[in-house]
Amino acid sequence: MKFLAIIATLISTSVVAQEVNIYSSRQPDLINPILEAFTAETGISVNVVFLKQGMLERLIAENRRSPADVILTTDIANLDAAQQAGVIQPVKSETITTAIPAPYRDPDGNWFGLTSRARILYASVDRVGDGEITTYEQLADPIWRGRICSRSGTHDYNIALVAAYLVHYSEQETIDWLTAVKANLARRPQGNDRAQVKAIWAGECDLAIGYTYYMGAMLADPEQVQWAESVKLIFPTLGNAGTHINISGMAMTASSPNPENALKLMEFLVGDLAQSIYAEANYEYPLRKDTPASALVAGWGEFTADPTPLVDIARLRGRALQIVEIVDFDG
């Protein structure tokens, strides 16, 4: 009987082990198709906790007791914060490093990008001519006085852009640029990226700063299609280096109770199938070099991405926030 009890325990443990737990800030409907494909291929069940906010705080509070194996989140800010807090661990995988270009992953393997989004300009199709603006630097030109809309300067999305500007220019040049951009605002920063496009549609401004994937989201919403159709996408360059981009990404938690399954999931997520599904569902650009963007996203036009490693941008986020506050961008 004792022998049978031991066998039953081993079987039970084996069954429990065939799972992987995710904390995700990505909407469930965006990642569920990928996770279902993973389970179908591997037999490993996936449990997802959706955390729109508070993921880092929860991981810190749970510490080693956390059931999470993998985190899925957006923006280099969140991935870097998780690394600095010590709640994720390095991962060594030739499969992942071969699939994801070096600028979009931590050199020590703490986090990896999955897809990218470009921080571009939405421009009125009626009030902004082709070629009238081609760089981020030109946002400071007085010809745009009272014609630009933006969300809060302290939002992670804009902090990353200011940090990217700092990579190419001095602190004083960055302060001068952001001061001039503020002077060109049509209104105080407010709302999200889609709200800026709506403002263009309403005639409140002619240019807005936003991520590319919002175009796909607006086109998929009957109430917002008219906003999307009122603008065109401009892929500006920064310091002649290319268009600033950011990522959605993944990392293995420091407390992962199922590290082998976690690694299998992470390697699956950089595979061609997952990359294709991910990009199609999120209107983002696959980071796997041999996976094309969806037809819709590809139709927005080709561009050259700024090759600056995101770790370099992450290191400057603190100073970028200080500059936003010095300029009083939201004031």
Q: Give SS3 for 191.
A: coil
Query: Which residues of the chain, if any, have pLDDT below 50?
Result: 1-16
pLDDT score recorded for residue 17:
52
For residue range 50-71, what is the model confidence (pLDDT) as tens digits?
998 999 999 999 999 999 999 9
pLDDT score recorded for residue 150:
98
- In this structure, the strands spanning 285-286 and 112-124 are antiparallel
For residue range 136-180, what is the model confidence (pLDDT) as tens digits?
999 999 999 999 999 999 999 999 999 999 999 999 999 999 999
pLDDT score recorded for residue 281:
82
Structure pTM? Answer: 0.90
pLDDT score recorded for residue 31:
87
Residues carrying CATH 3.40.190.10, the chain? 15-116+245-295, 117-242+307-327
> At residue 158, what is the residue type?
N
Return the CATH architecture of domain 15-116+245-295. 3-Layer(aba) Sandwich (3.40)
pLDDT score recorded for residue 259:
97
pLDDT score recorded for residue 286:
94
Give strand pairing partners of 24.
50, 72
Write b or e for each residue in 217-245: b if 16 or more Cβ atoms lie within 10 A of its Cβ, otherwise e.
ebeeeeebeebbebbbbbbbbbbeebbbb
Please say whether the beta carbons of 269 and 114 come within 8 A.
yes
Q: What is the CATH number of domain 117-242+307-327?
A: 3.40.190.10
